[in-house]
Amino acid sequence: MARTRDVSGARTANTYSADMNHHILSVLVQNRPGVLARVSGLFARRGYNIFSLAVAPAEEEGRSRITIVVDLDSAPLEQITKQLFKLIDVIKISELDPSRSVERELLIATVKAAGPKLADVSTLAEIFEGKIIAVAEDLVTVSLEGHPDKLDDFEDLLGRHGIVELQRTGRVALPKLDRSSRHRSTALRQPH
């Protein structure tokens, strides 16, 4: 689950990228104590890998939405979703195809920016449409919101300056809208 990275900025194998065998599950759950533990416990117990996980209250009172990026090399998606369905608190699971969904993630990072380097970091942030959110004598904290792939690139380039600390939120996603239809997500049904 943890995304390890080294300070030199080289992307490690744990960084997800477009070609990785991942899938996004959007899981609507009852917002009750322990629900996140049930979901993460299930993944741990059955040996499924999570790349990232984001959870927050959903549009409806008493519900939360958990966005999980799962590694399909660890188990077939069908088993993962069926086992998730068995959790009493899980109400609905939508499988989001990355090509038919909008994905966003937020990154904040503190990088070394002594003297003239500050301008370089500032330019970089500007190009990516990120923000400088705090500045110290030789450090600067930047933020960027966007598609996870864009964040990967930004992170790479920031790495050249030396990242002191970095935090990404993990992706959140919703089905992509088009002009004609309302719902593009596939609500997974139990098989018959």
Partner 1 sequence: MRDYVSEHLHEWVDLIFGYKQALHLRPHVIHGAVRHVLVRHEQGAGHAAEGYAHVSGKPGVAMVTSGPGATNLVTPLMDAFMDSIPMVAITGQVPTAAIGSDAFQECDTVGITRSCTKHNELVMSADEIPMAIRQAFHIATTGRPGPTLVDIPKDALTNEMEWYWPTDEEVQAALPGYRPNTKGHPRMIKEAAKLILASERPIVYAGGGILKARAAQALRELVELIDAHVVTTLMARGAFPDEHPLCLGMPGMHGNASAITAMQQSDLLITLGARFDDRITGKVDAFAPEAKIIHVDVDPAEQGKVRRPDVPIVGDANYVILEIIREIKELLQGGTRQADTSAWKSKISGWREQFPMTYEPSEPGGLLKPQYCIEQLNKYAPKGTIVASGVGQHQMYTSQYWKFNDPYTWVNSGGLGTMGFSIPAAIGAKAAMPDRTVWAVDGDGCFQMTATELVTATLEKLPIKVALLNNSFLGMVRQWQEMFYDERYSSVFLDSANVPNFVMMAESMGCVGILVESPEEVGPAIERANSINDRTVVVEFRTDATEGVFPMVPAGAGNSELILHPTQSDPTRTLQPEPKPIDTKLKDAH
Q: Which stretch binds partner 1 (CB under 8 A): 7-15, 17-25, 35-43, 114-122?
A: 35-43
DSSP bridge pairs for 145:
106
Residue in 4, 12, 99, 190 binding partner 1, rule: CB under 8 A: 190
191 touches partner 1 (CB under 8 A)? yes
Residue in 7, 18, 56, 78 binding partner 1, rule: CB under 8 A: 78
Q: In whole angstroms, how close is the CB of 175 to partner 1 at the nearest point? A: 20
Identity of the residue, 87 or 132, whose beta carbon is nearer to partner 1 in the bound complex: 87
* Tokens, residue 92: 């609905």
Identity of the residue, 24 or 29, whose beta carbon is nearer to partner 1 in the bound complex: 29
CA distance 1 to 49: 7
CA distance 26 to 31: 14
182 touches partner 1 (CB under 8 A)? no
192 Cβ neighbours under 8 A, 6+ residues apart: none
52: amino acid identity, one letter: S
66 touches partner 1 (CB under 8 A)? no
115 touches partner 1 (CB under 8 A)? no
* Tokens, residue 100: 């038919």
Residue in 71, 89, 145, 153 binding partner 1, rule: CB under 8 A: 89
Identity of the residue, 89 or 153, whose beta carbon is nearer to partner 1 in the bound complex: 89
Q: In whole angstroms, how close is the CB of 22 to partner 1 at the nearest point? A: 21
CA distance 157 to 63: 38
Q: How many other C-beta atoms can be found within 10 angstroms of the C-beta atom of residue 15?
A: 18
- Classify burial at 149, counting beta carbons within 10 Å of its beta carbon; exposed 0-12, middle 13-18, buried 19 or more: middle
60 Cβ neighbours under 8 A, 6+ residues apart: none
88 touches partner 1 (CB under 8 A)? yes
Does residue 40 contact residue 50 with C-beta atoms inside 8 Å? yes
187 touches partner 1 (CB under 8 A)? no
Residue numbers 41-60 binding partner 1 by CB under 8 A:
41-42, 45
Binding site for partner 1 (CB under 8 A): 29-30, 33-34, 37-38, 41-42, 45, 78-79, 82-83, 85-92, 190-192
